[in-house]
Amino acid sequence: MAKVMEAIDMLPEKSIERILFLQRNEITEHHIYLKIAQVTPDSHNHEILTRIASEELQHYNIWKKYTGRDITPAFIRIWFYYLIARFFGMTFAIQLMEGVEQRAQVNDGELLSSVPEIPTMLVNEAKHEQELIALIDEERLRYVGSVVLGLNDALVEFTGTLAGLTFAIQNSRIIAMAGLITGIAASLSMAASEYLSQRSDQTSGMSPKKASIYTGATYIVTVALLILPFLIFSNPYFALIFTLVGAVLIIFVFTFYISVAKDLSFWTRFFEMAAISLGIAAISFVIGLLIRLVLNVKM
């Protein structure tokens, strides 16, 4: 230890600041995990979060041996991730936090040569925490398939429906009314289909009732967001542009959430889903034009 302290004393100021930064990260994440654990009713998840918090405190104490200082946590970060966990789920908050921490780790040649055990400690920390995070059982992620089903169907079918209605009807209020009726009926149909699907699948371990609620609720919320521009703007083409932009934003936000929570590739999924939704909308727009011309509809 004396040799390590002597080596650290010879480090430049920026390397010392780096050690203090890492030390502060550990105590901050210790408090984040504890705070999330306090509001977690599930005993299994509570135990895992408490274990991770304990490990973060151990890492903090390792850095403290090198610095000889007590560091206060970043309280803004604690509350930020606590609120993220409350609104978007603990798995999303933890994965987001771990991703930010990994990107923040910068190789410092002088620091690594003076404290050679740092790389091993950081690698073991990341590996062990990811193993523990994988054990977390969160309901909203178990039903993510039902959410994806409702979201995909609403985006793909409804962007196409609204695009077709825009050229066929060319009246924002009528389009909104027709879309809302269609959307409510479709959401009920999707919820019923998901219920029957889960009832017939005895291996999924999911509640058919909850799965149907997740699917139906996601569908109707997405439909409401897509219809909203037609209730705001009198020009249907202007409203359609905002609807398509809204669809892309919904895809972006949801894909980001799933990618972070389940540690998946973001851009591939985002472009795939956006291309399908916008492609169907373009085809439906042309179909609406053709139907209007063939039937000689004038409004």
pLDDT at 49 over 50: yes
Give the number of other Cβ atoms within 10 Å of residue 223's Cβ.
25
Q: Which residue has the higher pLDDT, 172 or 282?
A: 172
Q: Can you read off the two tokens belonging to residue 2?
A: 């004396």
Mean pLDDT of 34-54: 86
If asked whether residues 109 and 174 sit together in one domain, one would say: no
Over residues 221-267, the pLDDT tens digits come to 999 999 999 999 999 999 999 998 998 999 898 888 888 877 778 88
**DSSP labels for 127-144?**
HHHHHHHHT---HHHHTH
pLDDT in the model for residue 211: 87
pLDDT at 109 over 60: no
Structural contact between residues 159 and 242, judged by C-beta atoms closer than 8 angstroms: no
Between CA 66 and CA 19 the distance in angstroms is 8
pLDDT in the model for residue 151: 85
If asked whether residues 26 and 149 sit together in one domain, one would say: no
Mean pLDDT of 135-149: 74
Spell out the residues 6+ positions from residue 105 whose beta carbon is closer than 8 angstroms to its own.
Answer: 22, 122
pLDDT at 2 over 90: no
As for how many domains the chain has, the answer is 2
If asked whether residues 151 and 128 sit together in one domain, one would say: no
**If you average pLDDT over every residue of the chain, what do you get?**
80
What is the pTM (predicted TM-score) of this model? 0.74
pLDDT at 74 over 80: yes
Residue indicated by tokens 């990618």: 259
Between CA 100 and CA 129 the distance in angstroms is 14
Q: Can you read off the two tokens belonging to residue 69?
A: 């200082």
If asked whether residues 202 and 280 sit together in one domain, one would say: yes
- Closest alpha carbon to 92 in 232, 223, 274, 262: 262
Q: Which of 5-19, 200-214, 230-244, 260-274 has the lowest mean pLDDT?
A: 5-19
If asked whether residues 105 and 222 sit together in one domain, one would say: no
pLDDT at 293 over 80: no
pLDDT in the model for residue 34: 92
pLDDT at 119 over 80: no
- Closest alpha carbon to 90 in 266, 270, 264, 260: 260
If asked whether residues 286 and 147 sit together in one domain, one would say: yes
The amino acid occupying position 152 is N
CB-count burial class (<10 Å; 0-12, 13-18, 19+) for 163: buried
Between CA 54 and CA 247 the distance in angstroms is 42
If asked whether residues 27 and 111 sit together in one domain, one would say: yes
The enclosing domain of 115 has a CATH number of 1.20.1260
pLDDT at 138 over 90: no
If asked whether residues 119 and 197 sit together in one domain, one would say: no
Between CA 186 and CA 248 the distance in angstroms is 21
| Domain C-terminal end among 118, 137, 156 | 137
If asked whether residues 196 and 131 sit together in one domain, one would say: no
pLDDT at 106 over 50: no
Q: Can you read off the two tokens belonging to residue 45?
A: 């998840």
| Domain C-terminal end among 78, 112, 137 | 137
If asked whether residues 100 and 10 sit together in one domain, one would say: yes
If asked whether residues 253 and 129 sit together in one domain, one would say: no
| Domain C-terminal end among 122, 137, 152 | 137
pLDDT in the model for residue 220: 92
- Return the percent helix, strand and coil in the chain, to nearest 5: 85, 0, 15
pLDDT in the model for residue 129: 65
The count of residues in the chain is 299
pLDDT in the model for residue 122: 66
Whole domain around residue 99: which residue ranges? 2-137
If asked whether residues 159 and 226 sit together in one domain, one would say: yes
